Homo-oligomer: A and B are copies of this chain.
Amino acid sequence: MPIAPDATLADVGEFALISELVGLFPQGEQVLVGPGDDAAVLRVRSGHVVVSTDLMVEGRHFRRDWASAEDVGHRAAAQNLSDINAMGGRATSLTVGLGAPGDLPAAWAIDFARGFADECALVGASVVGGDLTRSSEIVVAVTVLGAVTEAPVLRSGARPGDVLALCGRQGWAAGGLAVLGRGFRSPRVLVEAYRRPAPPYDAGRLAAEAGATSMIDVSDGLLAEAGHLAADSAVAIDVHAAAFDVPEPLHAVGAAVNADPVSFILGGGDDHALLATFPDVAAVPDGWSVIGAVAEGEGVTVDGAAYDGPTGWTHF
């Protein structure tokens, strides 16, 4: 039975909606049993599975007036797929839990699922299970499983003498967020970058093959993530501010909001770029930019000095 355009989740009911959503999730050949039983059953080829989980809450991680349901679906999938990318792996299967108020339009849930499925399709991953329940605000809980062929690249392997390199757009989403936060909708390219990140999904595996010594995805801010690499590897990291090509739209936003455009790059997250260390410049694969260096010591500096701008965010 088709779902009426103005139907709410409460109108449609749990089981009818689940049936509609499951139809949006094609199942890969690794899925022996997909959604609908007590658990999904997956064929696992390699001996290692990588697993990560994330929780997104409306009003904190997304706003319905800033991004469409489909955008939120893309973002929710992207930030999880990116965690597997940052291990040097490839995502294969995801579960997604959705908590939502009964008066949420069913169309929102369906569009969300469509965006989620489309993002997963970019890496060939399947949505193999989920849960749907009532809550007072929208909550999206995603868990992603992936495979690694090389040894996984951890946060803890950076060594003094390594170079720090970045792959993917960085600062664009933060620029878009700054624009939206001030009630504007342009530069459109930045707003779109915030709404639908474009993580470099193949870069993680290639970096692992190229001998990356440590890697992390930039979700909470570049300097914050560099700080995780430095802390977990027990090294010091210096970021070279001049290494970044600041794209024209970020200059425009910086001028409009009276901020150094480089601050979006150093403090911004949400693009899900990859940050990694390599033994030397020659090992850095195509598509990566060298943006800093690893030395003995601790902490993160920018051009040798403490950075006094925003460096990321914490959740409490």
Interfacial residues, chain A to chain B (CB-CB below 8 A): 9-10, 12-15, 17, 32-33, 36-57, 59-61, 83-84, 86-87, 89, 93, 95-99, 102, 128-137, 139, 141, 143-146, 148, 152, 154-156, 215-217, 232, 314-316
Task: Give Cα A73–Cα B47 distance, bound, in whole angstroms.
Answer: 30
Number of copies: 2
Inter-chain contact B314/A87, CB cutoff 8 Å: no
From A14, A38, A54, A59, residue with most partner B Cβ within 10 Å: A38
Task: Give Cα A128–Cα B145 distance, bound, in whole angstroms.
Answer: 12
Seed contacts A37-B154, A55-B141; 9 additional CB < 8 Å A-B pairs: A12-B316, A14-B315, A37-B87, A38-B215, A39-B89, A43-B47, A44-B47, A55-B131, A60-B135
- Give the Cβ gap from A33 to chain B, nearest Cβ, in Å: 6
Inter-chain contact A53/B141, CB cutoff 8 Å: yes
| Chain B residues, Cβ within 8 Å of A56 | 133
Task: Give Cα A47–Cα B60 distance, bound, in whole angstroms.
Answer: 39
Inter-chain contact A38/B143, CB cutoff 8 Å: no
A53 with B97: in contact, given A42-B48, A87-B41 (CB under 8 Å)? yes
